[in-house]
Structure formats: structure tokens, C-alpha cells
Chains A and B, each alone.
Chain A
């Protein structure tokens, strides 16, 4: 991918609401070039979505998130793809990764409460034939996600004027 696209991606990752004009000024190119590059990346699904990183623990109805280690038997011809799909299509599943090491899939599940997540594991996930075992870990607190620190302390300690 071009260097320009990389730089645009980095700037959008910091703040997805930055305008093409602002990015163009920061990178010393025209706004048209920026718009074109962004359009191409959207087309190619390099940019998948512009989403908000929210700190849900600040919202009243608190959610419960669990990471589940899943061991599965791969299918002949399709490997892990089919099973992974059967799992990630559930809306309560927020992310699914194929992992190296002691288990195969790492599944992030979100629910309104503990019971809901437990019920997902026992009624949806475990009954899948290929699933051999699951281990569920509940997340107690998020400190940092996607490079973003959730509760950053006031960061500018500098004097307002210095030589």
C-alpha cells in the first residue's frame, strides 16, 4: 500500500472524524488526493468501518464481557473457517481470533449480565459438534484497548510559557 494511504490510516486511527482538508494540510497533499485515497481504501475494505471506542463502564447499564478459549476439531477441507463462521455470526460475539498454542479460537462475547454469557456458552457454543472444550474468562476492567488508554490522567504538566 502507498505511503500516503498508510499515513492517512494512522491519522484516522487517532481520530476518525478528521476531515480530508485537515489531513491534506497535515500531509502536504491536496484534499482531492486524500478523498481519493480514502475512497479506494473503503472500496477495498482496508477501511472497514468508522466506529466509536466507548468506555461502557461509564454508562449505567453495565455490560459483561468474556474471553472464551475454544478448542475445536477442524473440518476436512475447510479447516477452522466453517466453525469460526458459525460462531462469529452470533451478534453477541464481538470478536473471534484463530490462535496458535493450546487452544484454537479466542472468542469475545458480550452480554447484559453474567447469566446471559453463561447461557450463550452452554446453549450456543458448547453444543456445536466440533467444539471440544471451552474456558471462559470474564473481563473485570479494561485499561487499554486498540492502543487507547481508557482512563488517562491529565497529561499536560508543562508550564504555560517556557523559553
Chain B
């Protein structure tokens, strides 16, 4: 017996380091470019930051209070996997009222841990290794890494400032191959602030249809549009069954830390996502669900006030960049301006590093958001008017200094 065990031990191949235990997908995953910048900015008290991807409002008090009350009442249990039925009901009603899309709360809506989980679930539910996932860029940083983790191949589609970073049918067509399966879109866009109108979507919908694609539409910024109402891709003729609508409460209701999101799609898709969801997280936390319910029932007016405040700051920052002499397309959604710093001759990375060190303003270099982002700077205007004015002032002086050498 002892002999046998020794034999076995001898044949085991030993791993040289802990890293050798890692799966190839985890090992090859690049750390986010934002992370590096975070380390530079962290701990500095003197900086004004335009680098924050979340509202500067605190969750409205009535929403926080509803959560506190539910805890007092002892609501601390699991909910149904898909989320509390009354919350799904309310989400369905809300989407219908606001964006003219109708989903059945019983079969087509899934409450998730932030929009992020919904994106993860959708990609995992759809990807067969080798599938190509089309991602218009610059875009939110998570789509490509999650795609790769499932064995999918992310294919970036560059969008351009002169098109207000809208996705164009020609560029989409050019990127399609027989392996293309999923298109991931995020409008209103983080980081560009670009939006897609009904007319912008029409030719895209045609290409989607012709090429039998399915779309993950990240509409987390849907409530934050200025001048025109958000158009959900799912509201276009024939697109509902081809769309997995992903959204959440973070941006519209200033609820980022609650991690409350949802996905809406065809029952076949939702039930597959639900399986993954139930095995991985069971259900979204009940405290967040209670708060989200309160936000939908009584928070729409407060939300409108926040949107108006963003709009005023948006005009301020765009005006500021143009005065400084940095080209800035008019962002029509989200809370980001995406000015070009090409006129200074610096790369995004150089510009933002020097801006941080020499003018104490933090903003995220555009290249971390993929192709088309180089030469730009993502500046969040979810910050107070006084801070914005001061930041623009500092950036102006910094750019002047660059010009005079």
C-alpha cells in the first residue's frame, strides 16, 4: 500500500508558483487602465476630480429611509431568485411608461446585483467559445474582459468624435464575420456622452436583423439625456426579441453602492441567465431591492431634479473646454464630456498624468476605453458647480502653459 502512494506522489507534476494555479483566462486578463490612474490620484486631498463615474448626489433620503425601516421590520431574508415580484412588476411598469418597452415581470425581468452582473450573465449565457462579440468603442471597460473570460473574441468597432461617437451601420457591417454573434452597445455612452436617436438606430436595426445578431443593450444612463428622450433599442420594430436590455438604479437614482440592476429579455434568455444567477449569487440583496422599489414608486421627481442639475453642469463644462480651445463634441447623455486634447500634442495618458501632477485635476485618459479613445479625456461633470468652475480654470491655465512652452 505505502509503495503505491509513494508512486503516485512521484508522478504528480508540481506547480512552480501560486500563479500557476490560475486559469489562463484570469491570468491573461489585463488590469483596468483606470486602476493605474486611481493609484496615482488616491490619497491626494488637493485634487479636484472629474474622474468619478458616479453621481455626486447621495441616494435620496426617502429611499435610504425605506431601507432602514425594512431592516427594522426584519426584512433580512432571501428573495425569489429573479427578485421580489413587486419590484419586477414596478420595473416593468416603469420601463413601459418611460421608454415604451413592454416586458412580462413574471418571465422577462431579472433583478441583478448591479447592471454589471446583468452584463456578465448575458455574455456567459450567450457565448460559445470562438464567438465574436462586437463592441463599439470607446466604451465601458468591462465588456471585452468578460467576453474573453467566456472564450468569446471581442471585436472593437471604432466610433468617432465627428459622428458624436454614434455607431454607424457601415462600420458595424465592416466588422461582421460569419462568427459574429453578439453586439454590445451602451448608449447614452460612458465615456463619450454620445446617444442614439430613433433615426440613428433604424439602419443599425436592419444590420442586426440581416446578420441574425443578438444585442446586449446597456442602458444604465437612459434617464440622463438632455434635449431628447432616450430611445431604447428594444423599442424598435422587431428588436425586442433580439435585445437584452440591461439597466439599473445606480445612475438615475444615485444608488451606485446599492448594486441594484436588472436585465429584460425573451423568456428563453432570461431563464438561462436566471440559472447562472441562482447558482452564483442566489438573489440580489433584499435591502437593495426594497430601496429600489421605493425609488421607482416615489423617486421620479427627485430624479428629474438631478437630471436638470446635470444638464446645467454639462453646458458649463462643454462651454469651458471650448473657451480653453479644446475641441469638445456636445455630449447629449450620461454625465461625461469627452474633449479632445490632440491640439496640445500630448497623448491622453501624458495629458492626464501631467494634468494631475501639475494642475491637480484628475480625469481619465480616453485610451483606456478602447480604440477611438486616444487623444481624448473623460471628464465627469457629476460634481458641484464650484468644483467644476475651479477645475476648468485649472485646466485652462495648464493648457496655456503647454502652449507657451
Contacts and interface: CB of A to CB of B under 8 A. Distances in A.
Contact of B44 (A26, A159, A160, A163): A160
A27 B312 contact: yes
Nearest to B38: A161
A158 B38 CA distance: 12
Interface string B69-107: 000000000000000000000000000000000000000
10 contacts: A15-B385, A18-B385, A26-B316, A156-B56, A160-B38, A160-B42, A160-B49, A163-B34, A163-B141, A163-B142
A160 B386 CA distance: 17
A160 B385 CA distance: 17
- Identify the 5 closest CB pairs spanning chains A and B, nearest first: A26-B312, A161-B51, A161-B38, A160-B41, A162-B53
B236 to A, nearest CB: 28
Interface of A: 11, 15, 18, 22, 25-28, 155-156, 158-163
A26 B315 contact: yes
A22 B389 contact: yes
B52 interface: yes
Contact of B315 (A25, A161, A163): A25
Interface in B20-57: 32, 34, 37-38, 41-42, 44, 47, 49, 51-54, 56
A131 to B, nearest CB: 40
A69 B44 CA distance: 52
Nearest to B380: A162
Nearest to B55: A158
Interface string B243-272: 000000000000000000000000000000
A160 B51 contact: yes
Given A26-B316, A160-B49, A162-B54, 5 more contacts: A22-B389, A155-B58, A161-B38, A162-B34, A163-B140
B389 A160 contact: no
Interface in B292-320: 312-313, 315-316, 319
